[in-house]
Amino acid sequence: MTDTWAVFEPPDQDQVARHADDLMQRANLVRRDGWDQYRRIWSCGEVIGTALILGDDAEIQRCGETTNSALERWAFDLWGVTGGQSDADAGLPRTRAWFDSIRTAR
């Protein structure tokens, strides 16, 4: 039997840091090479996360998302089901701050 309660808990801080590192690396690749070769091989979540880092609203829309819906998707990855829902209910301040911190760290 697996522990299904873990999905409700936020990932550990190391996983959240790995998300940040991964998205920064992807953003650097897009800055260098453009989107064309990556949008077909990355998941939708990876593309919209990278677009959020880059502030690329056109790419977010290309994925059929808005900035808010993209942030909401990431809220659940970053904070788990319970934390993601509470952040979404509050207008996503924690998720926005997380993406803002990555953008300013570049």
Which of the pair, 1 or 20, is modelled with greater confidence?
20
Write the pLDDT tens digit of every residue in 82-105. 999 999 999 999 999 999 999 988
**Residue burial 32-53, b: 16+ Cβ < 10 Å; e: rest:** eeebeeebeebeeebbbbbbbb
Angle between helices 13-33 and 93-105 (to 10 degrees): 50
Domain boundaries, the chain: 32-105
Give the per-residue pLDDT at 12: 84
DSSP state of 54: H
Per-residue pLDDT, averaged over 56-69, amounts to 97
Give the per-residue pLDDT at 10: 73
Look up residue 90 and give its two tokens: 């509050």
Q: Which helix (H) or strand (E) holds 34?
A: none
